[in-house]
Amino acid sequence: MNLLRKYWWYVLALLLGAFMVERIYNFGYVTMERKHDQYVAERDSRDKAARLAATEKERTLEQTLQTAVQNTEAAKAEQERLRAVIAIADGTNDRLHDELKATRANLRGQGNYSTLAERSASATRAAMVLSDLFGSCSTQLKELGGAVDQAQSRGRQCERSYNTVRELSNKAP
């Protein structure tokens, strides 16, 4: 006890110092833990925002690609429709060619059987020349019409593809 009375002040200072060191350490630990928790929360928030942005970007890209596919399918349907129209026009053209051949044969035949045709041989020749000219013109028109229809369909498809690519490049970061 004598020893305690003699050194009580030192023991008290030592205990008080140990208590203060423990409180300072605890305060630093708690502060650092709070800062770490805040950092983790901010990082998680940034990660979540980045995931949402990436998901939205993927969704937009997928929708744009789906639109491109639909445009391509629409262009194919347009081409099929044009092919059907061309087939109908081909049938009409073939029928007109058959009628033209029949008219030519009729005009040629009139020269053999009719005296009227002999008198108007020049008129018959003019009609045959006009018939031949009409036949060559209708053939050229058929070819040009088919080429124009195909070019128009391909142009529309190209325009749709270009618009899709332009939308994709505008949405890219």
pLDDT tens track for 109-146: 655 545 555 556 666 666 777 777 777 777 777 778 77
Q: How many CB atoms lie under 10 A from the CB of residue 79?
A: 16
- The DSSP element (H or E) to which 145 belongs, if any, is helix 121-171
Give me the number of domains the chain comprises.
Answer: 1
Residue 172 phi, psi (nearest 5): -70, 145
Least reliable range by pLDDT among 4-8, 22-26, 33-37, 40-44: 4-8
Helices and strands, counts by H and E, the chain: 3, 0
pLDDT for res 145: 78
The pTM assigned to this predicted structure is: 0.45
Angle separating helix axes 2-113 and 121-171, nearest 10 degrees: 180
> Cβ(169)–Cβ(87) under 8 Å?
no
pLDDT for res 40: 93
pLDDT for res 107: 64
Domain interval for residue 36: 2-171
Residue 1 three-state SS: coil
Q: How many CA atoms lie within 13 A of 120 on its CB side?
A: 12
